[in-house]
Amino acid sequence: MSRLLAAVLTMAAAAALAVGAALGVVALLDATPAQPNTPLITYENTGQER
């Protein structure tokens, strides 16, 4: 019975660790500032129609 209890506790601890790691990754991704959406190349409009 003690082996079964140890296996269940190990499984619960592993699941809690996985959930904690996932929440930590999400928190880190939310903490990074949003990058501005500016184009690297801009084309000047000369007023000519295509």
The secondary structure of residue 5, as a DSSP letter, is H
At residue 45, the pLDDT reads 75
What residues have CB less than 8 Å from 10, skipping those under 6 apart? none
- The predicted-structure confidence for 1-50, as pLDDT tens digits, reads as follows 899 999 999 999 999 999 999 999 999 888 877 778 888 888 887 766 65
Q: How much is the pTM?
A: 0.58
C-alpha–C-alpha distance, residues 44 and 9, integer Å: 65
Amino acid at the residue 47? G
At residue 48, the pLDDT reads 64
C-alpha–C-alpha distance, residues 45 and 22, integer Å: 47
